[in-house]
Structure 1
Amino acid sequence: MIVGRREVWTGRLLLVLLMAVTVVPFISLFVTALHPSGSYPLGLDWPGDPHWDNFVKAFEAANMGELLKSSTLIVIGVVPISLLLATLAGFAIGHLRMAGRNVVFLTFVLGLTLPFEGIITPLYYQVRDLGLLNTRWAIILPLIGLFMPFSVFWMRAHFVNMPQELTESARMDGANLWQLFWRVHVPLAMPALSSLAILLFLWTWNQFLLAIVLVDDPLKRTMSGALGAFQGQWGTDIPLLSAGSLLILAPTLAIFLVFQRRFVTALLQGSLKG
Structure 2
Amino acid sequence: MITPLRDKILGRALLFLLMAITIIPFVSLFVTALHPPGTYPAGISWPETPRWDNFLTAFQSANMLELLWSSALIELGVVPIAVLIATLAGFALGHLRPRGGNAVFIVFILGLTLPFEGIVVPLYYQMRDIGLLNTRWAIILPLIGLFMPFAIMWMRAHFVNMPHDLSEAARVDGATTWQLFWRIHVPLSAPALSSLAILLFLWTWNQFLLAIVLVDDPANRTMAGALGAFQGQWGTDIPLLCAGSLLILTPTLLIFLIFQRHFVSALLQGSLKG
TM-score of the superposition, structure 1-length normalised? 0.96
Q: Identify if the C-alpha distance between structure 1 residues 124 and 272 changes in structure 2 by more than 3 Å, giving closer, same or farther.
A: farther
Structure 1 partner of 2:141 = 141
In structure 2, C-alpha distance between the alignment counterparts of 1:16 and 1:38, rounded to whole Å: 34
8 Å CA contact retained: 1:38, 1:238: yes
CA deviations on 1:191-213 (whole Å, 9 max, x unpaired) are 11011111111111111111111
Kept in 1: contact 2:191–2:263 (CA 8 A): no
Distance 1:66 1:243 in 2: 17
Q: Please, which runs of 5 or more residues in structure 2 have no aligned partner? A: none
Structure 2 counterpart of 1:231 = 231
Change in 2 beyond 3 A, CA 1:106/1:125:
same
Structure 1 residue ranges (4+ consecutive) displaced by more than 4 angstroms after TM superposition: 266-274
Residue 152 of structure 2 corresponds to which residue in structure 1?
152
Number of residue pairs matched by the alignment:
274
Structure 2 equivalent of residue 200 of structure 1: 200
Match of 1:92 in 2: 92
Residues 236, 269 of structure 1: CA spacing in aligned structure 2 closer, same or farther, 3 A cutoff?
Answer: farther
| Range with bigger deviation, 228-237 or 116-125 | 116-125
Per-residue deviation at 1:187? 0.9
Distance in structure 2 (CA, Å) of the matches to 1:101 and 1:222 = 35
Given that 2:70 and 2:220 are in contact with CA atoms closer than 8 Å, whether structure 1 keeps it comes out as yes
Where do 1:54-93 residues align within 5 Å? 54-93=54-93
Provide the C-alpha distance between the structure 1 equivalents of 2:270 and 2:61, rounded to a whole number of angstroms.
40
When normalised by structure 2's length, the TM-score is: 0.96
Query: Aligned letter for 1:58?
Result: A
RMSD (CA atoms):
1.6
**Structure 2 residue aligned with 1:252:** 252
Percentage identity across aligned positions? 76
Shift in alpha-carbon separation, 1:168–1:268, aligned structure 2, 3 A? closer
**Hey, what's the Cα distance between the residues in 1 that align with 2:214 and 2:3?**
55
Larger mean CA deviation between 233-242 and 158-167 belongs to 158-167
Establish whether residue 240 from structure 1 lines up as the match of residue 240 from structure 2: yes
8 Å Cα contact 2:194-2:263 kept in structure 1: no
User: 1:272 deviation in Å?
Assistant: 6.8
Equivalent-residue separation in structure 1 for 2:80 and 2:219 (angstroms): 22
What's the secondary structure of 1:174's corresponding residue?
coil
**Counterpart code for 2:223:** M
- The correspondence of residues 152-191 of structure 1 with structure 2, limited to 5 A, is 152-191=152-191
Answer yes or no: is the 8 Å Cα contact 1:157–1:273 preserved in 2.
no
Q: Deviations over 1:17-71 (max 9, x none)?
A: 1111111111111111111111111112111111111111000000000000010
Residues 154, 270 of structure 1: 8 Å contact kept: no
| Contact 2:231/2:241, CA 8 A, preserved across alignment | yes
Q: Distance in 2 between matches of 1:270 and 1:125?
A: 40
- Aligned partners of 2:230, 2:118: CA distance in 1, in Å? 26
